[in-house]
Structure 1
Amino acid sequence: MSAQEKAVKLGVSLEPQEPGYLNLCIRSGNQLITSGHVSDMKGVLGKDLTVEQGYEAAKDCMKKILRSVHAAHGTLDNLRVIKLLGMVYSAPDFTDQHLVINGASDLVHEIYGKDTDGYHARSAVGFAALPTGVAVEVEAIFEIKE
């Protein structure tokens, strides 16, 4: 099964997108670089939200990223995930950002493989606030395999 078929099976929407204020995914050489994609869920991890809720929020971000990548590139196939940056709206004493961002990484692993094209570098960091109070924001870099 192709990466794109796996993504659709896992609930990733590949519907066309309307252009926005910023480019959601841009190609530079053989890389696709995304803007930050935010979760629909709002709230502070470690205060309003649990790690499990944050995990789902990060997964939501990754689904949105994949939609943007598809819109820019025309397919989710023949890509390698290079890097994810996960930002978590965190209470001052919250230290499980890495577990939250696993929601994005685990989806990538399911689609591209944990030991192959989905095996990526990653940062997971806590922030005092994120735009509009969203719980999670994720950005990504993909390599186009030609």
Structure 2
Amino acid sequence: MEAQLGRRPRAVREVAYRCPCGLPAVVETSPRLEDGTPFPTLYYLTCSRLNSKLGGLEADGRMREMTERLAEDPDLAAAYRRAHESYLAERDAIEPLGTDVSAGGMPSRVKCLHVCVAHSLAAGRGVNPFGDEALDEVGEWWKPGPCA
């Protein structure tokens, strides 16, 4: 993970998803850092190649487009709200932070595709609609081999 991130990872509880190449791709983190600081990002993407591909989607304006669709599609908005509620329930089962803030802008906007994708990979398809969508768009990121 250090090679993937270029730094030592913080508050890691376990590997939540392994890339088909065998390396960790998503880690589950503690709701608080070692010093007690709240850390609401439960699932953290470690794969540098996937991070880069998602950065490209973000640069292309995908998050703005997704957020606009939330206002236009009540079924999509409901699915994204369920993703938010799932995220909170999973995090609160470890340690409640006393907040309804999850991560990545959920449930009202898409602020970070990395969070959505990490959630989709850790929880499985069908939980986070925007994570699933971004994964479909980036395709088989692992094909060239390990990222680190």
TM-score by length of 1: 0.31
Higher relative contact order at CA 8 Å, sep ≥6: structure 1 or structure 2?
A: 1
TM-score by length of 2: 0.31
Q: Compare the two structures and name the one with the higher strand fraction.
A: 1
Q: Compare the two structures and name the one with the higher helix fraction.
A: 2
